[in-house]
Structure 1
Amino acid sequence: MSIAPYIKEIGRGKDGARPLTADQAEDLMGQILDGNVTDLEIGAFCLAMRIKGETAEELKGFVNATIARCLTLVDCAQAAKAGIVVLPSYNGARKLPNLTALLAQALARQGVSVLVHGPMQDPTRVTTAQVFQAANMPIATSAEDVQRAWESGQPAFMATDVLCPPLAKLLAVRWTIGLRNPGHTVAKLLDPFAAGRVPSMRVVNHTHPEYAHSLTDFLALTQANALLMRGTEGEPVADARRQPKFDVFLGGQRQAELSRATQEGVLTSLPQLPETSSPDDTARYIASIASGQTALPESIGAQASCLVAALQAISS
């Protein structure tokens, strides 16, 4: 079946394009992920959506289609005693050290089960997977691996091509056309445990302030549990130098008492950070914090505390 009718609606330019309903978006994304369309149609879809931008309804449909094609991880939840935090990690480090693995470890040390998902490699950046590997933290290739990591009190990393192979294929289109596509937004919204019985929180991060509005609309529409923030170079971890704004959503509603404001004022000191952004230096830095030789940056500690408090609020 062709997706040409959908492309006709979304491909009329920024002002002429028409938004799809959630059901239409789910059907469209489902056909793409199932490989029922041509490469030319996929390219047209990516470019049309890049120009138009996604609505909350479209994101809902795209995410629903993707979740339906993800590896089933429901059984892992039995190992989650204090709730689950999902950290979608898709940007990596370019200038600053990638400390998503540090946040994952900080949460795990408080009894939280953490799943990080993202690409294994990026030709232009240091990925969280590379930091996990350098730090000898668990890389999961199955649901059983995730459960074993959680039972041992460790966070788990799962590559996108394991969690959802067709999504990984869509993300790879970027290296052909040179642009990100809706798959990248969907990846940052994926929580495989959202519909389960065990409380879960996802960290949803954005790089540009205008995306905060569309993501807020999505969280409200889908009644999601999430921490929305401006990420560090697009990673779901607070900037180690200064705490960003944390907006906590439970059931799609912003919780003022759980949210936190941006750290204001002039910085008078900086935390100790890795010497470089390399995986090895970042892994050594994480180990030094685990051993107590180096202090956990306050902003990352605050983010971990915020997520733990949100999980407790869901459970109460």
Structure 2
Amino acid sequence: MSEHAFAPYVRILGKGKTGSRSLDFEEAQEAFGMILRGEVEPVQLGAFLMLLRVKEESPEELAGFVSAVRAHIQRPSFQVDLDWASYAGKRRQHPWYLLAALTLAMAGYRVLMHGAAGHTAGRLYSEQALGALGHAPCENWADAEAALAQSNFAFVPLRSFCEPLQRIIDLRNLFGLRSPVNTLTRLINPVGARCSMQSIFHPAYADSHQRAAQLLGQENAVVFKGEAGEAERRPEADLKLHLLLNNNPTVEEWPRLLSGRQDKLDTLPLDHLKACWQGTATDTYGEQAVIGTLAIALRALGKTTKPDEAHRQANDLWQSRLGQRI
């Protein structure tokens, strides 16, 4: 029997402590292209993903994987201002980041959010919460273009533009672990937006995300540790922003917005989120999470260079949403 064409990539990662190494950009791109085209056996895919998980993927590997995904998907021709990755889901706090994204859209910024739901039990995902706020998922790029024309906002599920990645994410319950796909999806930026919002759960991944985005030629981007892994400011925590500004990396530290610790919620009633959006209910933590997230987005978009000014602009946008509909 001849060796399978994918075997060398598994061998590179799994040859032991002294013999193994990371894939370079071209190797990562070719290996993941094979995965997306269905040219890999299931046992090879499992070995490949878990070897990467143990080793932790390098920026060059991430960039190569994302490059393969971009070559695989049918990318639309329309443009957006902000790419917003949403793959983690919420468990103990409401998805306040959705209100930040919708506020930006109301202010005239074209926002494309993409994500995957259901891969981790007990979490509330963007797709479900957005439905309660009146935004149905877009099942294709034509639907997304229409939604953007109507409201400057569209949510596109991963399954709608890259089903092979969705299938791999759904393997989480078989592995008992997340795989590198949960990382690379945040970097896809399927429409090629000039600016990208990304969040991580583990702070150690921030440098890799920033470097991978730089390798991919991303003009502006921000990566930070968000609440539960979503791109949402944690008001009671100091913030470290890993920014790309005109493809140049920088790090900024912003002070916390609230003292103390917010209690973790047992349930996440969507009626409360909707009421806060409509201005018929208030939530101190939630409003600071929204305003703080808006400030991060405005900084990444290049609308200001100072945190205080970013928060002032964010607060103005949040207050001006009342009386409008999106």
Q: Same fold (TM over 0.5)?
A: yes
Alignment of 1:95-110 (within 5 A): 95-110=92-107
CA–CA distance in structure 2, aligned partners of residues 93 and 20 of structure 1:
33
Residue range with higher mean Cα deviation, 305-314 or 177-186: 305-314
Equivalence for 1:297? 287
Aligned residues: 297
Structure 1: unaligned runs, 5 residues or longer: none
**Alignment CA distance shift 1:118-1:304 (3 Å):** same
Equivalence for 2:168? 170
1:156 aligns with 2:159: no
Residue 288 (structure 1) aligned to one of 271, 276, 279:
276
Contact 2:235–2:256 (CA under 8 A) maintained in structure 1: no
CA deviation after TM superposition for structure 1 residue 13, in Å: 4.2
Equivalence for 1:59? 62
1:310 aligns with 2:300: yes
1:62-114 deviations in Å (ceiling 9; x for gaps): 00001122242223x2xx4xxx2222111111222222322221221221111
Residue range with higher mean Cα deviation, 200-209 or 2-11: 200-209
**Alignment CA distance shift 1:66-1:283 (3 Å):** farther
Amino acid at match of 2:276: S
Residue 263 (structure 1) aligned to one of 241, 256, 259:
256
Percent identity between the aligned chains? Answer: 26
TM norm structure 2: 0.81
Equivalence for 1:10? 13
Equivalence for 1:236? 231
CA deviation after TM superposition for structure 1 residue 282, in Å: 3.0
**Alignment CA distance shift 1:246-1:213 (3 Å):** closer
Equivalence for 2:72? 69
**Alignment CA distance shift 1:277-1:108 (3 Å):** farther
Amino acid at match of 2:293: Q
3-state SS of 1:74 partner: coil
Contact 1:89–1:100 (CA under 8 A) maintained in structure 2: no
1:250 aligns with 2:242: no
Equivalence for 1:204? 198
Contact 2:86–2:113 (CA under 8 A) maintained in structure 1: yes
CA–CA distance in structure 1, aligned partners of residues 261 and 177 of structure 2:
38
TM norm structure 1: 0.84
CA–CA distance in structure 2, aligned partners of residues 287 and 164 of structure 1:
34
Q: CA RMSD in A?
A: 2.7
